[in-house]
Amino acid sequence: MRLVLIADTHLPLRAKALPDPVWREVDAADVVVHAGDWVEAALLDEFEARGARLIGVYGNNDGPELRDRLPEIARVELDGVRLAVIHETGGKQGRERRCDELFPDTDVLVFGHSHIPWDSVTPKGLRLLNPGSPTDRRRQPFCTYQTAEIRDGELRDVALHELPLRR
């Protein structure tokens, strides 16, 4: 099962569209995970129309229309992997401890908000992933997203993808 992990798209405020490499990954994925800050519902509509399974949440920049359609926290099981998605986890200090407490029955937590890619494992074995942002790099050298696979009940081959800088 191929996954694409995205967050903080901020369309159309930070970009007019998602970069083509991201759409190619979305089209090839079995599951797309979006960890919030869509900004406008048109992007949600486009993801839903493309046919892949979508697991998404709203973020702090998402208004009533998106909040009516998306949860604050999504929880699913994908081929034996217990996945949760949330936009914000708080500051990086103490993140592992907080997430262990808030998501005790979770194998993988995907989050956004900071636009800073993150991949770590908590003391209790929870995998924390933040794909960064494909449209707004903020203080990062590149815009980013992640891909991963689920095989034999395990998350594998997590990769961070850097996007070319737009000129």
pTM above threshold 0.85? yes
- 84-126 per-position pLDDT tens digit: 999 999 999 999 999 999 999 999 999 999 999 999 999 999 9
With respect to CATH, is domain 2-163 assigned 3.40.50.300? no
| pLDDT surpasses 70 at 167 | no
End-to-end Cα distance, the chain: 34
Residue 89 and residue 103 in contact, taking contact as beta carbons nearer than 8 Å: no
Cα separation, 111 vs 88, whole angstroms = 6
DSSP H helical ranges for the chain? 20-28, 41-49, 64-69, 95-102
Residue 166 — very low, low, confident or very high, per pLDDT cuts 50/70/90?
low
Residue 109 and residue 129 in contact, taking contact as beta carbons nearer than 8 Å: yes
The structure tokens listed for 114 are 């900071």
Burial (CB count within 10 angstroms: exposed 0-12, middle 13-18, buried 19+), residue 93: exposed
- Three-state DSSP class for residue 27: helix
Mean pLDDT of 37-51: 93
> Cβ–Cβ contacts within 10 Å for residue 156, how many?
10
